[in-house]
Amino acid sequence: MHVIIAGLLVFFIFTSNLSGEPMKHVFKNGLVLIHNEAKPLPIVSIKLFINLGSINETEQNSGITHLTQTLILKGTKKRTAEQIALEIESVGGSISSGSDEDYSEISISITKDYFIKALDILSDVFNNPTFPEEELQKEKMMTLAGIKSRKDHIFNIAYDSLILNLYGKHPYARLTIGAESSVQNITRKDIINWHHKYYGVPNVLIVIVGDVSFETAEEQVNKYFSGIPRVEQSKLNVPVLKPELRISTETVKFAQAYLMYGFLTPSVNSEEYPAMKTLNAYLGGGMSSRLFQVLRESAGLGYEISSFYPSRKDVSRFVIYLGLDKQSLEKAKEKIENLLKEVREVNIDGKRLDEVKEHLRGTYLLDHQTNDRQAWYLGWWEIIGKGYAYDREYIAGIDKVTVEDLKKIAEKYFTDKRVIIQLSP
């Protein structure tokens, strides 16, 4: 009964925040607009997604998308960085930019009265960035410092080693912020060329969620983005990955040890995606998960224990991680192997599966409480290849997962061909 009430509550929160159905419109120039009118508050979230991320980079220019995105708000032909920030922040709004493995985005949240101003600024920073040389040097220094600082955190050391061993020459093996060697060599001309090559149709979509009608959104986007250039479509040129057994042990300066397992798993566009999300939640989703209960609660073996399965355009990974004492390493590995064998060979309890599904529903729906997050999901599903409508279909996909599905994908992916990273003092 409590599970049903919780489900109805989060569904009510989700549907009450969305005044209408999302709409997709393609302009004559090929630009895509996704719009959803939501009126609880007079605010609007605007997101411009670019189908470009570190997956589109080479080893030589690794980090160029990150640098382009950090510099895109640092000044245009008619606005300085200070003017961009002031025009948005003086009316209570916010503006940001960023990049990830599979996409990049520029975001503005603002009150409805300044919606047109926001589009004017968004168009300006997207189309007319100047990429000042002095700002590039600052960002390169900060990026290089960020790369070096990863060695100060044991999780990062383990994870960086894991993805390198899992992915080899695949772009996912590299950090989204790049490597020291590549970042040092990226020039202002490189960034200008990168922007000129990919920042335009068909690589761009705009998402608007908030208190603005579709007619107004369509009219104003057409006004400010009618001149958006047509550019080369971003493409994936990635190697075919074959899972292999790789075990890496390393001595580190930290007092604790660290254990990490990695398996190659399906992309977000696979039919197995909902089942893999469910299996991840069952194994590593919080304190009620099997990993936490078996290794922490029952055996007292670790400090932090969890798993994750990121949604990726290409081959993803399932990762188990555990911080623990050095003397507990062998016992922890034995427990993890037993758990992996368990999900491969034994159907999980149906009641427990229902609880896991409810957890996934709740966290997903509650993450839609703001216009900003609603806009992000609509744009992200579209740019990743599932289509914006999948935002309403995701939960239905989770609901269809069976205990047999979980056993099947565990047998398929949790094989002996995995990467194990072991760090110890």
Q: b/e for 233-270, b at 16 or more Cβ within 10 A?
A: ebeeebeebebeebeeeeeeeeebbbbbbbbbbbbbee
pLDDT, tens only, 146-155: 999 999 999 9
316-324 and 94-99 beta bridge pairing: unpaired
Q: What is the token pair recorded at 375?
A: 């806009």
Query: In which band, very low, low, confident or very high, does the pLDDT at 172 lie, cut at 50, 70 and 90?
Result: very high
Structure confidence by residue, pLDDT tens digits, 356-384: 999 999 999 999 999 999 999 999 999 99
Asked if residue 274 and residue 210 are part of one domain, the reply reads no
Asked if residue 271 and residue 183 are part of one domain, the reply reads no
What is the spatial distance between Cα 407 and Cα 341, in angstroms, rounded to a whole number?
A: 10
Is residue 12 over pLDDT 90? no
107-116 mean pLDDT: 98
> Rg (Cα) of the chain, in Å, rounded?
23
Measure the CA–CA gap between 233 and 250, rounded to whole angstroms: 42
Per the structure, the complete domain to which residue 134 belongs is given by: 18-225
Sign (positive or negative) of CA dihedral 63, 106, 129, 146: negative
Q: Are residues 262 and 343 in the same domain?
A: yes
- The residue from 171, 191, 225 where one domain ends is 225
- CA-nearest of 320, 327, 343 to 259 is 320
From 287, 291, 281, select the one nearest 332 (Cα to Cα): 291
Q: How far apart are CA 262 and CA 265, in angstroms?
A: 9
Number of domains the chain contains: 2
User: Has residue 379 been placed in a domain?
Assistant: yes
Would residue 235 count as lying in a domain? no
DSSP reduced 3-state for 220: helix
According to the model, what pLDDT value does residue 288 have?
A: 86
The answer to whether the CB of 257 falls within 8 A of the CB of 424 is yes
| 148 and 289 within one domain | no
Q: Are residues 204 and 289 in the same domain?
A: no
pLDDT at 132 over 50: yes
90 and 206 together in one domain: yes
Q: Is residue 360 part of a domain?
A: yes
- Supply the pLDDT for residue 1: 40
Instruction: For residue 91, name the pLDDT band (cuts at 50, 70, 90).
Output: very high
Do residue 63 and residue 109 come from a single domain? Answer: yes
Q: What sections of 128-243 are H helices per DSSP?
A: 133-149, 154-167, 180-185, 188-198, 214-225
Q: What is the pLDDT of residues 306-327, one digit of tens each?
A: 999 999 999 999 999 999 999 9
Strand bridging mode 204-210 / 32-37: parallel
Q: Long-range contacts of range 344-352, CB-CB < 8 Å, 24 or more positions apart? A: 344/407, 344/410, 344/411, 344/414, 345/407, 346/407, 347/403, 347/404, 347/406, 347/407, 348/282, 348/403, 348/406, 348/407, 350/403, 352/282
**Average pLDDT of every residue of the chain:** 94
Whether residue 214 sits in one domain with residue 333 = no
pLDDT of 162 strictly over 50: yes
Alpha helices by DSSP H, listed for 51-114, are 64-71, 81-89
Residue 408 lies in a domain: yes
| CA 121 – CA 92 distance, rounded (Å) | 15
Q: How far apart are CA 416 and CA 337, in angstroms?
A: 10
Answer with the one of 192, 225, 258 that is the final residue of a domain. 225
Q: Where does a domain end: 190, 225, 260? A: 225
Shared domain check, 195 and 156: yes
**Statement: residue 3 has pLDDT above 60:** no
Structure confidence at residue 163 (pLDDT): 98
Q: Please check whether residues 166 and 258 belong to one and the same domain.
A: no
**CATH code of the domain in which 133 resides:** 3.30.830.10
Residue 230 domain-assigned? no
Residue pLDDT, tens place only, 236-248: 889 999 999 999 9
| In a shared domain, residues 250 and 160 | no
Residues 6+ apart with CB under 8 A from 261: 319, 320, 321, 336, 418, 419, 420, 421
- Higher-scoring residue by pLDDT: 301, 262: 262
- 333 occurs within a structural domain: yes
Task: Quote the Cα angle for 42-44-49, to 5°.
Answer: 175
Same-domain pairing of 26 and 86: yes
The sign of the CA dihedral 243, 247, 253, 255 is positive
Q: Does residue 305 lie in a domain region? A: yes
- 3-class DSSP state of 71: helix
pLDDT at 76 over 60: yes
Q: Which residues lie below 8 Å from residue 380, measured CB to CB, with a gap of 6+?
A: 49, 103
Identify the pLDDT of residue 286.
84
For residue 376, which amino acid is it?
Answer: W
**CB-side neighbour CA atoms (13 Å) of 168:** 12
pLDDT for 7 beyond 70? no
Q: How far apart are CA 348 and CA 275, in angstroms?
A: 13
How is residue 155 written in tokens? 């999780």
Question: What local confidence, expressed as pLDDT, does residue 18 receive?
Answer: 47
On whether residue 6 sits in a domain, the answer given is no
